[in-house]
Structure 1
Amino acid sequence: MSTNVHEVVIVGAGLAGLTAAYVLKQHGISAILLEREPEIGASWQRRHPQLTLNTHRDLSTLPDTRYPAGTGAFPKRDVVVRHLQDFARTHAFDIRHGVSVDDITRDAPGVFRIASSAGDFQARHVIMAVGRDTERQLPPWPGLDGYEGDIRHAADFGDAQAYAGRSVLVVGGGNSGFDVLNHLSRVKTGPVWFSVRRGPSILPKRLFRFAVHRLSPLMQALPTRLVDRMIAATQYLAFGRLSRLGFPKGAHDAATRLVDQQIAIPVDDGAIDAIRRKQISVVRGVRSLDRKAVILEDGSLLVPDVVIVATGYGTSALAGSDGGTGVWHMGLTPSLTSFFHQTRREATLIAKAISGRSGR
C-alpha cells in the first residue's frame, strides 16, 4: 500500500484523462493517471479501422496541439491514436498502465482511498475520466437470451468489408447507427435494414463541399431552440423530407436532446444516399427476438445474417462510492463543438476548483 497522499489521481488516460493532466499541470498541480489499458489509445485501436471523427480536425485536438500537415478534415482512427500517444509522450505524464480501479472510498477527512489492481492509492482529489463509451448496452428485448443469430454491439462492428454479401439489421438511429450505415453504404452487402423508432435529426458531414461541423462554435453560442431550427433547416436543405424515405416523423430537437439527454447528433456520410438507392431499407423498431428471427413492431419478421445494436453505451459502474466533494467526473458530456473542446472546458473548471481549495 502506498503511504504517499497524491494531490490528484486521474482514473483513465484517454482523451479526458490526458486533457485533465495537462490542464492541472498548467495550474501547478501534479497528478498520476491510472489506466487499465497497456498503452495509450488502445480502446481507439479496437474500434473498426474505417472510423473517422465526425468533428473537424481544427476542433478536435488535445490542448495547444495540432495534427500533422496533410491530416484530413476529419481525422482517421490511427491518426487520432498517434495524436494521443504523441501528446502523452511529449508531456511525460505519470501514467500507470495495466491498472484497473475497483473502488473509491473516503479514507480520512480530505483523503480518498483508490483500491486498484496495483494496490491502494491515496489522494486528496480523484478525477473520473473513464469516458462515456466504456460499457456496451443491449436493449432488454424479449427473447434476447434465446436468440441464436449473430448479434453484436456497434462497438464490435469491425471491418466493413467483412459484411460483403451478408444481410444486416442495424438497430438504432443515433450517431453510432449512422456511423455503421455510412461504412456499410460503401460495401456490396446483402439486404441492409435500418430499424428506427423516431425520425432522426441528422446533419450532413459536408454540404456543397463545406464541412458543416466548422460552424459548430457559432452554433454553440446560440440559444438551443434556435440551433434546433438551424439543424432542421440544414437537414431539409441536404436531404429533403426524410419521411419520404420511410423514416417516422422527426421532432427536430437535436440540440435540445444533446443538452438535456447528452444524445450526440448523427452525421450522414453516405447512409442517406444508400437509402435512396434502396441499398438500405428503413424499418420499424424491434419488438422482440425469436430463436432465429427478429420481430418488428409492425409484426414483420427479419432473418438477418448479422444484427448490429447501436442503441448506446453506459459509463463504468465505478463512480466513487463516497460521492461528495473531491471526486470529480468529466468526459461524459457531448457538445456541439467536440469532446476535445468539452473536456478541456471541464478540466479547466475542475483545476480552478482544486487550486482554490489548496490555496494555490
Structure 2
Amino acid sequence: MEHADLIVIGAGQSGLATAALAPRHGFARSLVLESADKPGGSWARYYDSLTLFSPARYSSLPGMCFPGDPDHYPERDEVVDYLLEYARRLPADIRTSTAVTSVTRQGGMWSVRAEGGQNFTASAVVAATGDYGTPFVPDVTGQAEFGGRTLHAADYRDPEAFAGQRVVVVGGGNSAIQIAAELGPLADTTLATRRPVGWTPQRPLGRDLHWWLKHTRLDVAPIRRLLRKVPVSVIDDGSYRAALDRNDVDRRDMFTRLTADGVEWADGTKEVVDVVVFATGYRLTFPYLTASGALDGEGAPCHKVGVATTVSGLGFVGMEFQRTFSSKTLRGVGRDAGYVLSRLRKG
C-alpha cells in the first residue's frame, strides 16, 4: 500500500496542471495515475490537422509558457510535445500504464485501486480524466442496417482515406467544421446539423477573441448557467467558412434516418452515402467513482464548482463550464485546479 498527500487521476492537461499547483496548496507529495503509456491525455489521438482556436499566449499551463510565436495557433503535435515536456518538469510522481478501477472512502482516507492489484491511499483525490475517453454517438434510426461506415471524430485522422467517397459529417461545432473543410477537396461532403451553424469571428476588431475574453474578464466570469444555454458557435477567421464554400461542402438539416445504403433527409429524399462521421462530442463519465458516494443516480458528479459536495477530500478538474467559459481549456484548467486544491486543503 502506497500513500500520497494527493492522488490525481489522469495525466492530461487537467491532471498535469493540478499536480503542478499541488505544492503551493500544501500537498507535499502528489501521485498522478495515468492509464495510457505516456502523459498528455487524449491530444495524441486527435485528428492530424487539429489546430487550436486560441493563440499560444493563451494556451499555457501554470508555470510554463507555450513555446514559439505567442500569436501563432498551435497544432496538435505542438500541444502533444508541450504536454510531454511539461510532465517531465513536474515535481510529481507520474505513473503511466496505471488504470484506476475504484476510488472509495475508508477510515478518513481515500483508497485507490488500479488494474493489476495496485493499491494507494491519499488524503485527497482529484478526478481529472475529462470526457474525451467517451465519445458520444447519438442513437439514429436505422443505424443497425446501414451498410456504410460510421465513425466518431475521435477515430478520424486524415482525409486521404475518404478520397472519392460520399461523406456526411454530423455536428456543428469546431471539430465538425475542421473535418468537413479538409474532407471537401477529396470527398463529396455534406455537413448535417440540427440548426444553422453559428460563426464567431476569431479576430474581432483586429484582436484575437481570447484577448477580448481576457480583458473583459468574460474568460473567468462565473456564468456557467448562462453559458450552458448559449448555442454552439464556430470560431473562425474566415478560412474555414471559405473552404466549405470553395469545395461545395453544403449544410443540410440533420437526416431523419440511416438506410441500408445511405441516409434519408428531412425532406424525404434518400441518398447513397459511403461514410458518416459523427463529430458529436463526448460524455463525462467517472466509472472508477461508482462506489465513492460522489455520483448521483445518473452517474454525474455531485459537486459545486469542482468540489465534491457529498464526500470530503474529492475534487474534479477539466469539466466543461466547471467554473468559467475556459474551464475545459489549456488556459483555464490551471485556474480551476488552484481553486479546487485550495478547497481540498481547507477541507
TM-score range, shorter chain: 0.7 to 0.9
Contact map agreement 1:220 1:336 (CA 8 A) in 2: no
1:1-360 correspondence to structure 2 within 5 Å? 2=1, 4-29=2-27, 30-41=29-40, 43-70=42-69, 73-108=72-107, 110-118=108-116, 119-185=118-184, 188-206=185-203, 210-221=207-218, 259-260=227-228, 265-268=233-236, 270-277=239-246, 279-318=248-287, 320=289, 321-322=291-292, 323=294, 324-334=311-321, 335-337=324-326, 339-357=329-347
Contact map agreement 1:295 1:301 (CA 8 A) in 2: yes
5+ unaligned residues in a row in structure 2: which ranges?
A: 295-310
% identical equivalent positions: 27
Using the TM superposition, give the Cα deviation of residue 11 of structure 1 relative to its aligned residue in structure 2, in angstroms. 0.5
Using the TM superposition, give the Cα deviation of residue 347 of structure 1 relative to its aligned residue in structure 2, in angstroms. 0.8
Partners of 1:264 and 1:93 lie apart in 2 by 37
DSSP-derived class of the 2:73 partner: coil
DSSP-derived class of the 1:19 partner: helix
Partners of 1:51 and 1:213 lie apart in 2 by 18
Using the TM superposition, give the Cα deviation of residue 97 of structure 1 relative to its aligned residue in structure 2, in angstroms. 0.5
TM-score by length of 2: 0.84
Q: 1:67 to 1:278 in 2, by over 3 A?
A: closer
What is the one-letter code of the residue matched to 2:227?
A: V
Partners of 1:311 and 1:209 lie apart in 2 by 31
What is the one-letter code of the residue matched to 1:286?
A: F
Which structure is richer in relative contact order (CA contacts within 8 A, separation 6 or more)?
A: 1
Partners of 1:261 and 1:33 lie apart in 2 by 34
Using the TM superposition, give the Cα deviation of residue 218 of structure 1 relative to its aligned residue in structure 2, in angstroms. 3.1
Partners of 1:57 and 1:337 lie apart in 2 by 15
Partners of 2:30 and 2:233 lie apart in 1 by 33
Q: 1:82 to 1:178 in 2, by over 3 A?
A: same
Q: 1:278 to 1:14 in 2, by over 3 A?
A: closer
Q: 1:262 to 1:97 in 2, by over 3 A?
A: farther
Q: Which range moved further: 160-169 or 44-53?
A: 160-169
Equivalent pairs, count = 322
Per-residue Cα deviation, 1:76-134 (whole angstroms, up to 9, x for no partner): 111111111111111242011101111212222x2122121142222221110001222
CA RMSD in angstroms comes to 2.6
What is the one-letter code of the residue matched to 1:344?
A: G
Using the TM superposition, give the Cα deviation of residue 209 of structure 1 relative to its aligned residue in structure 2, in angstroms. 6.4
Q: Which range moved further: 62-71 or 279-288?
A: 62-71
Contact map agreement 1:53 1:75 (CA 8 A) in 2: yes
Q: Which range moved further: 173-182 or 20-29?
A: 173-182
Partners of 1:201 and 1:256 lie apart in 2 by 20
Partners of 2:226 and 2:176 lie apart in 1 by 16
Contact map agreement 1:217 1:337 (CA 8 A) in 2: no
Contact map agreement 2:52 2:74 (CA 8 A) in 1: yes
TM-score by length of 1: 0.81
Partners of 2:325 and 2:127 lie apart in 1 by 22
What is the one-letter code of the residue matched to 1:145?
A: A
Using the TM superposition, give the Cα deviation of residue 258 of structure 1 relative to its aligned residue in structure 2, in angstroms. 7.0
